[in-house]
Amino acid sequence: MLRIINAAMSDELYFAIANHTLTVVEIDATYVKPFTTTAIMLTPGQTTTLLLHTNHTIISNNSSLIFPISARPYRTSVFPFDNSTAIGFLIYNTTTTTSSRSSLDHNLSNDNLPEMEDLKFATQFSWKLRSLASPQFPCKVPQEIDKRVVTTISLNLQDCPANSTCMGFNGKRYFASMNNQSFVRPSSISILESYYKNINTSEYYSLDFPENPPNAFNYSGVDPLKENMNTEFGTKILALPYGANLEIVLQDTGFLNVENHPIHVHGHNFFVVGQGIGNFNVEDDPGNYNLVDPPERNTVGVPKGGWAAIRLKADNPGVWFVHCHLEEHTTWGLAMAFIVKDGPSPSQSLLPFPQDFPSC
């Protein structure tokens, strides 16, 4: 059993072992229907468990006893990136292993590892993931929703303020946003503390995160260089009653470039009920959702130039961050937050701050 975690900050990664197949049994700490694959793709923050069957045919043939274990980026962006391949080795423990180690230098190739721009493999792999949905491990995907939020996930190119120097493309400055809101974290107090203690809340955040893109356009098809790619700034939050069933549709855009964004939700697992390439269509796409055995996870790689729809039950009171797991994009503002209000019973309510909670 192999437990794989993508701990990189900037790259979706492919992972494969030469001459061996992998059986996927778990993602983000929930079981999936097992399936066999030659490679996996993990976004930053995603985890998975694989079963590896050692290949006794290879041992008896004694052709090679050393197999590269490789990981390299799944590249969807036009930005510069580290294109190196990380390599370890699977070495079979036999009496002839020592002599085989001399072949290490010319045994680095791994035909199972997809090419760095293999969009098809990444898309097909993620669409194979299905919850186990057994009587023992049922799939509790919300069948009905109380609210649907459709949000763009964008990079932005901001006009440079007067008398400033900006180092981004065309002398501008990079930002990122959801529904054209680049998220600003309050500097003097956390949103949670402001909310819980009811301290000057209007000074730190507002409960008006846009529930639809403020300007409709051909999200995945625009020529970015002909567009105004400025964003707005704020700390706009979505407020939900306890127990609400929320759907969020994450729509990639072509601003700067279409790209796979790994969107991570704090405080809740969610179900990936639908994915597609191009623009989400609210009339047609929900009818094709998987509401039987969608994968349950905490980070979804929104397809490059496409969309993903996730559903969750908001049953964890508090303030929760939703953000891109590419570190740079989060620092540019590709984030939002939602408040889940207290439920009727004490077990459905926020706990008080600890006595020793440090003050800023």
Report the interface residues with Cu ion, using CB under 5 A. 261, 324, 326, 329
- CA-to-CA distance for 149 and 309, rounded, in angstroms? 10
Contact 78, 86 (CB under 8 A): no
308 closest CA partner among 122, 37, 144, 139: 122
* β-bridge pairing 261-265 and 299-302: antiparallel
Nearer to Cu ion by C-beta: 50 or 150? 150
- Shortest distance (Å) from residue 77 CB to Cu ion: 9
Nearer to Cu ion by C-beta: 304 or 329? 329
Nearer to Cu ion by C-beta: 250 or 314? 250
- Shortest distance (Å) from residue 149 CB to Cu ion: 18
Tokens standing for residue 321: 């961050």
Chain-centre distance of CA 209, in angstroms?
A: 20
For 347, half-sphere exposure in the C-beta direction (CA atoms, 13 angstrom radius) is: 0
Nearer to Cu ion by C-beta: 236 or 329? 329
Query: Distances in Å between the alpha carbon of 39 and those of 14, 47, 174?
Result: 7, 14, 33
Nearer to Cu ion by C-beta: 44 or 294? 44
Q: Where are the alpha helices (DSSP H) in 170-322?
A: 191-197, 201-204
- Euclidean distance between the first and the last CA atom of the chain, given in angstroms as a whole number: 44
Nearer to Cu ion by C-beta: 18 or 324? 324
- Shortest distance (Å) from residue 326 CB to Cu ion: 4
Q: Where are the alpha helices (DSSP H) in the chain?
A: 56-61, 97-100, 119-127, 191-197, 201-204, 327-331
- CA-to-CA distance for 285 and 304, rounded, in angstroms? 17
- Shortest distance (Å) from residue 207 CB to Cu ion: 25
Nearer to Cu ion by C-beta: 300 or 324? 324
Residue reference for tokens 């969750």: 312
- CA-to-CA distance for 208 and 306, rounded, in angstroms? 25
DSSP classification of residue 303? P
- Shortest distance (Å) from residue 328 CB to Cu ion: 8
- Shortest distance (Å) from residue 45 CB to Cu ion: 12
- Shortest distance (Å) from residue 4 CB to Cu ion: 21
Nearer to Cu ion by C-beta: 238 or 326? 326
- CA-to-CA distance for 266 and 341, rounded, in angstroms? 15
- Shortest distance (Å) from residue 196 CB to Cu ion: 29
- Shortest distance (Å) from residue 12 CB to Cu ion: 10
What is the total residue count of the chain? 360
Nearer to Cu ion by C-beta: 297 or 329? 329
Nearer to Cu ion by C-beta: 112 or 156? 156
3-state secondary structure 7-43: CCCCCEEEEEECCCCEEEEEECCEEEEEEEECCEEEC
Q: Computed over its alpha carbons, how large is the radius of gyration of the chain? A: 23
- Shortest distance (Å) from residue 41 CB to Cu ion: 16
